[in-house]
Amino acid sequence: MAKKLSPDKRDRVLNGNIYTALLTLAVPVMINSFIQSMYNLTDTYWLGRLGTDHQSAITLVSPFQSILQNFGHGITSAGAILIAQYLGAHDDKEAGNMANHVCISTLIFSVVCAIFCFIISPPLVAWLGAEEAQYSYALTYIRIVVLDMPLLYMINIYASVHQAEGDTVRPMLLNLIGVVVNLIMDPLLMVWLDFGIAGAAFATLAAKLPGALIALYSLTRPGQMVAIRFRGFRFEKEKMLSIIRIGLPTAIGGSTMQFGFLLMTKNVQAFGKAATTAYGIGNKINSMITLPNNGIGNAISTVVGLNIGAKNKDRADKSFHIALRLSAVYLFISGMILSRPSVSEFMVRTLTNDDEVAGLAASFLSLMAFWSWNNAFYNVTMGLFQGAGHTMVTMAVDASRIWVFRFIVLFVCQSLLGMGVESVWYAVVVSNAASAAILYGLYWTGIWKKDVIKTKGA
């Protein structure tokens, strides 16, 4: 007999104190996001000991890796949304059935995609403009690291199922295991055994393995409320259409956005390896201060999903405003601190010894941090629309942020104003602000309140 969602968890989100519900969900997600970021930061730190060529190689191909991750994340995000709405409607059987569909379809996709990406890696790295040592390092890294896709997707499925249940602690602990393995394997493989950049890739691959095995065992273990059952599984047309309808826009939007990042990286590469490395370092450090914002965005998605499933849209709306205030205040304060030149330069110098790279990265980081409060409106409102199941909206905004605003600003700054590499810095900031304003404006239209799936109700 499968266990039911804890009444305390469900009641906390549907009827309890909203601040408590948000923070209970958000804090583990914040820690989990920090743990996830440690993979790249650890690689960047140790590669910095090897040289700028190694660091720039990872920066160059990381957006390609993110394209693949974001497409699969669209499917698992759809699962979290649909499962949460079924659970909010007390339809636990359908929640479990949906989890089966998400898991099996995602794993099939990950295996096919990993093979395909391994094959196309050489022409892709050449197209990005990598040459000589940088080409060799980039190709070595991406061909190894794409093989972790089935492992990563299994971990993401586990996180989606537990997030939908209102449990964000277990996914955090699962990823903590991975980062500890990575912290040990990076110096062991990269420096002591002298594997170089291949060591970074193998360390990341090895770090995903224990988490994926634990996730698979946990989700298939008898007695789980939302459990995966491979035996006797049959695809249902209605379930697959729900996943496609909600997951595909998120997958396309996220992948399109990441492909835009890939092109942005290609533009930065034109200014040299130092600029490419600085771009990567600036983004990584900035992502660390926005982790709480991302956690709140994820939390509001779950809160909104459960409350909409329970036909309580007023509470979903109130929760959104509370989450927005929390995120905006945090990002404004932390952004003002990190935007100080002395602080930003100190941060970037922990990841590079190259003076040229440090100067460029500090400039980029200061500008992004100063305007980071815009991300509160972007991420939290994005969480609202995703929790409500309106992923067509998030797809359109994600795509326009990169393909419309970012490239237009880049063209104006670079071609008309002759601003050089700073064109990239301003393109990032202006496009983020414009998309946040549009997304927040769409909230006031009320379109997020329209139902996207049929449930039994509360």
Place of tokens 């997304």: 439
Tell which residue, 339, 281, 325, 290, has the closest CA to residue 34.
290
Place of tokens 């197209």: 127
Confidence check: pLDDT of 3 > 50: no
Which of 17-31, 163-177, 313-327, 393-407 reaches the highest mean pLDDT? 313-327
Is residue 430 a contact partner of residue 368, using CB atoms and an 8 Å limit? no
| Higher-confidence position of 108 and 82 | 108
At residue 379, the 3 state secondary structure works out as helix
Residue 171 lies in a domain: yes
**Strands in 167-222 per DSSP E:** none
Residue 9 lies in a domain: no
Mean pLDDT score, 60-66: 74
Q: Amino acid identity of 147?
A: L
At 9 the pLDDT is 58
At 12 the pLDDT is 64
Q: How many CB atoms lie within 10 A of CB 67?
A: 20
Instruction: Quote the domain boundaries for residue 150.
Output: 16-449
Residue 5 lies in a domain: no
Mean pLDDT score, 55-71: 75
Residue 2 lies in a domain: no
Instruction: For residue range 431-456, list pLDDT tens digits in order.
Output: 999 999 999 999 999 888 887 765 55
Residue 4 lies in a domain: no
Q: How many CB atoms lie within 10 A of CB 15?
A: 13
Q: What is the DSSP letter of 378?
A: H
Residue 246 lies in a domain: yes
Instruction: For residue range 86-128, list pLDDT tens digits in order.
Output: 776 666 677 777 777 777 778 888 888 888 888 888 888 888 7
Which of 188-192, 257-261, 334-338, 402-406 reaches the highest mean pLDDT? 334-338
Separation of alpha carbons 194 and 208, rounded Å: 22
Tell which residue, 58, 78, 409, 413, has the closest CA to residue 240.
78
DSSP string, 212-242: HHHHHHHHHSTT-SS----TT----HHHHHH
> In total, how many domains does the chain have?
1
Residue 286 lies in a domain: yes
Is residue 423 a contact partner of residue 414, using CB atoms and an 8 Å limit? yes
Q: Amino acid identity of 402?
A: I
At 5 the pLDDT is 45
At residue 339, the 3 state secondary structure works out as coil
